[in-house]
Structures are given as structure tokens and as C-alpha cells.
Amino acid sequence: MLLLAAQGTTQARELTQQAPTAQTQAAKTTLRWQVPEQTQRTTLRIAGPDGTVTEQTFAGGQPVVLNIASKGSHLADGTYVYELRAVVPATSAPVGSAAEGRTQASGAALQSVVQTGAFRILNGSIIAAGDLKEPQTGQPTRSGAAQPAASGTSGTPGINDQVIADDLIVQSSICVGLDCVNGESFGFDTLRLKENNTRIKFEDTSTGAFPAVDWQLTANDNASGGEDKFSLEDVTNAKVPFTVRANAPTNSLYVSANGYIGRDTNAPVLELHLHDGDTPAIRLEQSGGGWGDYTWDIGGNEAGFFIRDVPGGSRLPFRILPGASSSSLVVASNSNVGIGTLSPSAKLEVNGNVLVQGNVVEYSDVNAKENFAAVDGTAVLDALMQFPVLSWNYKADGASVRHIGPTAQDFYRAFGLGQDDRHIAPLDTNGVALAAIQELYTQLQAKDAYISELEQRLADQETRLQTLEQRMNALEKGAQK
């Protein structure tokens, strides 16, 4: 066993932070963030100790205020983390184009600036991170032992420093930190960090073109009211790309031997496997990028798979219910869409009946047509009379569902219309019917004209007959005298 007591300053070198989005002010029951004047809008998102997330949006320049004593705000004791997302004028234009179906928000380009942090509620009062600090150099530690003052400057060993200019091999366990004691009970620990601020710093002294970013493993915030968490920090660039909060569930993130990633499972079946007891889902959220804010959810449960339009009233514009057959909806490589077919031969091919609760509108714009030709109505009418119009049923429907009409083969043989002899377009049947009606009307007009002529001739004959009868009557009266 090797016990190492750190000599010199033990104050953890904190991660360098960028300029904050907002200045934070804390009171007993109120937490207030003063955002810059140029802020367009600010969204405050708070995650509670039970994982519940709440969100509120504030107008541009308006202070962001959380009041746990207000009506409806019942926040339990525990540690809370917050994300403050402010939308401010951008320094560069957003990425994307109108060809992607995107419309840039009007006015100046915007970008999203994020500030994160934590606070704790204890006995109904807010303790903001930074209100109290852990004991620093020369102050008592959690164990009550006083920390020694620094004994040397950076790069220069102090009086009590030890420099080992050779390999150091420890065949037992190591404890590092001011709270390590003689006779430390290690259990199965090989390396233990034991004090009020535990950090492992990877400080790269490389120069020139060699990689030289400094990294740090951090366990817990060093401020009262801060987070209980474990983080991987990019010290050089002041970023925290990875954090695990205390009490995170087992297998919150699990990488199997084959590289599959599991969430809440240690046996992921596919590249990404999400498990949850109630509706596993993922959220796609866009905000502050100059394109307008919008959020979509993709999820599934025993009631079906769905896409949720969150800002649009949480409507579900797309759903797949359990038991849907294979190829229920297919988009082919040529962009044809099939319903019930794997190989759609048209922009939309449906294998089965179509029920429309509305109108079916066919495209018939004169500007989309060419090769116009007059139609011989007499020929259409003659052809129409040659093929049979029968009553029948589709095999898939059964004998009880009857229809009346021609077969596609007879229709194609008679008129040569459409793409093949297996389908009939409603526009073609309508056209044939209209041409036949026009021809029948023309023939009816001719017959009406002929009937009118006959009626006129009959009327003339009746007039002549009446004239003859009058003359006959006159002659008969003269003969009687």
C-alpha cells in the first residue's frame, strides 16, 4: 500500500468558461437570469431529480425568472439542472437552402447560445451553484483535516515535493488526496482519489503541430447547490462533451462488444436500441439557427409507431398500427409510392380498394397536353355498342360486392385508350361517355329537325286538305240550289 498526501496547492483548476449567456441571481425561492438586451427570446428548460422536464419561453430581453413559491410551482427537494437557450443575432448566415424546403426566418440571421447549470432545493429554499464553495487551501476539508498551504510554484518542486526520476511500481493500492489516511481500507480499489474536489487532469505539454488539448475527468461540482455528476471536460476549449448525473439508471448508456449501443438495456439487438417502460421515443429539436424553431418526436408503443408534431398541438400526422402488413407503404427508388405493393408502377399504386371521403381530382390542364385531335362521335358510339357491359365482382371482394362496367381488355380493344389493357382511367371512361353523349345529342338534334320538317309537311297537307274540303262544301251547296 502506498499513501500519497498531495503537497502544495490542492485547489482544483476549474474549467475555463466562456462569457455567460445571462447573469444569475438567487433568492430564497426565486432564481433570476438577466439576459442581454439583444436577445430575441429565451427558453428555460429544467430537469428535476426524477427526470421530469419543464420548459418555458420568455420574450426578448425579458428577465428569466423561476419562482418555486408561485402557484402551481411545487418543486421537491433535490438537485435540478437547467438549460438556458437564448436566441441572439448570428455572426454568420444559417446553413441550408430553399431547395430543402426551408424558409429562413425574416430579419437578421439568428443563432442559439446556451448556458447550463444547476441548483438545489433544500427545505423549500433555492441553493444556487456558487452560493457556497468547498473549503479551499488552508481551510478544513470534509474530513476536518486542515489543508497545507502551497509549498512550491508550478514547475519548481516544493520543500515536501518528491520527484522520482525513474519508474514507480506500486504492487498494491494508491490513495491520493488530503483525506487519505494511514491504514486506508481499499477493498478492491487500485487507485483512489479522496478529498473534497476530485479531478484527474490530462495536461498535454506538446508543442508545434502535435495535438495538445488538455482534458479533465471531474467528479461533482465544487460549489454548494451544484450537480452531483461525472464529466469529461475539454479544458482547452472550455467544453463538457460528456456528463453523467448521479442516480442515472443502470445501463443508461451501454456499448456492447459488437459496438451496438443500448439505452436502458445491456443487450442491444441493433446498432441503437432504446428501451423504456412507456413509449420509448427520440426528439428532434431545432431552435436558434435562423430557420425558426420546431420540434418533432418519433416514438412507438403498444398502440403503434408515430411521428408527433409537438408545436402543432402534438398531433400525430403519421402512424403505423401494430399488425400492419409488409409493404403497407413503399417508396420505390424512382419515387413511386406503393400501398400494399412492393413494386409500384405509377406515382401511386394501390393494391386494393380505395375509399375517398372527399373528391378525387384528376389533372387535366390544357397546358399539360399535346397532340389534340377531333373525335369521331359516330365511331365512338358504334364502338360503345359493340363491347359488353356486365355485372361482376372482384375476386378479392367476394360475390356479395357487385359492380357494373366493362373489362379493361374490352375497353382497350374498342378504344385503344390508357397505358395498357389491364387498367381503365376514369378520365378515359368519362371522355368516352362525353363523346357518346355529344354524338347522341347530335343525332337527336338531327332527328328533331327531321321530325319538325315532317310535322311542317303534315301541317301543310292538313291546310291544303282543309282548303279542298271548303271548296267541296261550296260546290255541293251550289249544286243543291
**Per-residue pLDDT tens over the stretch 260-307:** 999 999 999 999 999 999 999 999 999 877 788 899 999 999 999 999
What is the band of 408 on the pLDDT scale with cuts at 50, 70, 90?
Answer: very high
pLDDT higher at 60 or 237: 237
Grid coordinates 433555492 are at which residue?
Answer: 126
Q: Indicate yes or no: pTM above 0.85.
A: no
Measured CA to CA, the distance from residue 221 to residue 118 in angstroms comes to 9
Mean predicted confidence (pLDDT) in 424-428: 92
pLDDT higher at 143 or 400: 400
Model pLDDT, residue 59: 85
Model pLDDT, residue 137: 41
Task: Please determine, for residue 224, whether its predicted confidence score (pLDDT) is greater than 50.
Answer: yes
Tell me which of 2-6, 284-288, 298-302, 384-388 is least confident: 2-6
Model pLDDT, residue 43: 87
pLDDT higher at 113 or 153: 113
Average pLDDT, the chain: 84
Measured CA to CA, the distance from residue 285 to residue 45 in angstroms comes to 13
Model pLDDT, residue 108: 60
Task: Please determine, for residue 359, whether its predicted confidence score (pLDDT) is greater than 80.
Answer: yes
Tell me the sheet residues that pair with 315.
Answer: 309
Q: What one-character-per-residue DSSP string does 435-476 give?
A: HHHHHHHHHHHHHHHHHHHHHHHHHHHHHHHHHHHHHHHHHH
What is the band of 94 on the pLDDT scale with cuts at 50, 70, 90?
Answer: low
Q: 459-467 — which CB contacts under 8 Å span 24+ positions?
A: none
> 10 Å Cβ neighbour count for 393?
12
Pick from 5-19, 20-34, 289-303 the range whose average pLDDT is largest.
289-303
Distant-in-sequence, close-in-space partners of 106: CB < 8 Å, separation ≥ 6: none
Task: Please determine, for residue 321, whether its predicted confidence score (pLDDT) is greater than 80.
Answer: yes
Model pLDDT, residue 271: 96
Model pLDDT, residue 1: 39
What is the band of 429 on the pLDDT scale with cuts at 50, 70, 90?
Answer: very high
Model pLDDT, residue 9: 30
Measured CA to CA, the distance from residue 384 to residue 407 in angstroms comes to 13
Q: Which three cell numbers stand for residue 402?
A: 357487385
**Comparing C-alpha atoms, which of 18, 19, 56, 62 is closest to residue 38?**
62
Q: What is the layout of strands, in order, in the sheet containing 337-339? A: 330-331, 337-339, 348-350
Task: Please determine, for residue 411, whether its predicted confidence score (pLDDT) is greater than 70.
Answer: yes
Mean predicted confidence (pLDDT) in 390-394: 94
Model pLDDT, residue 37: 81
